[in-house]
Amino acid sequence: MEEVICANCYTPLSPVLSACPGCGDNIIITGEQKNIIDRVQPNCLIHRYDGSDLLEPAFIIKEGKTNLKAATKLKEYAKPITVPKQKTYAFDQNILSAIQSLRNERTASIRRYDQLIQSHWQQLKPYKPKT
Ligand SMILES: [Zn+2]
């Protein structure tokens, strides 16, 4: 099993133990009583990088006055990242998917233009001075 996180205190549980070393809870891996986190359960979207249009699904762990502590991957439940509140948005799967697919299309288009430009560059002949 991949690394999992205690749902109570966010201590990483790896390898899987019978009780959490952080809070002492008995670990229940499956079923209704399950108290581990084995994948990020996003409840917001965060914008981390200035100048980028990348939105990341994240889980809010703690709310401060101006900043939030959030996790975008399992590792970050124990070591959350700090995000300004004003760059955090309500989770919206439709908008996230639309932006992600447009970002992918843009990347593919840029690659195609790079290749087209390159194909012209390859036809350039070396300059030969007249003798
Ligand atoms: Zn725990």
Task: Compute the distance from residue 125 Cα to the ligand 1 centre, in Å.
Answer: 67
Residue 13 confidence (pLDDT): 86
Residue 68 confidence (pLDDT): 96
3-state class of 12 per DSSP? strand
Report pLDDT for 130. Answer: 87
Q: What share of the chain is helix, strand, coil (3-state, %, to 5)?
A: 25, 25, 50
CA of residue 13 to ligand 1 center, whole Å:
8
pLDDT at 23: 93
So what's the pLDDT on residue 29?
A: 86
Cα 83 to ligand 1 centre (Å): 24
Residue 26 CA to ligand 1 center (angstroms) comes to 9
Sign of CA dihedral 48, 41, 15, 27: positive
Cα 69 to averaged position of ligand 1 atoms, centre (Å): 18
Report CA(23)–ligand 1 centroid distance (Å). 4
Give the per-residue pLDDT at 16: 64
Residue-level pLDDT at 46: 97
Q: What is the pLDDT along the chain (131 residues), one digit of tens a residue?
A: 467 899 999 998 877 678 999 999 999 988 999 999 988 989 999 999 999 999 999 999 999 999 999 999 998 998 999 999 999 999 999 999 999 999 999 999 999 999 999 999 999 999 999 87
Q: Tell me the CA–centroid distance for residue 71 and ligand 1, in Å.
A: 16
Question: Residues with Cβ < 8 Å from 85, sequence gap 6 or more?
Answer: 63, 64, 66, 67, 68
Q: pTM value?
A: 0.78
Contact call for residues 54 and 47 (beta carbons, < 8 A): yes
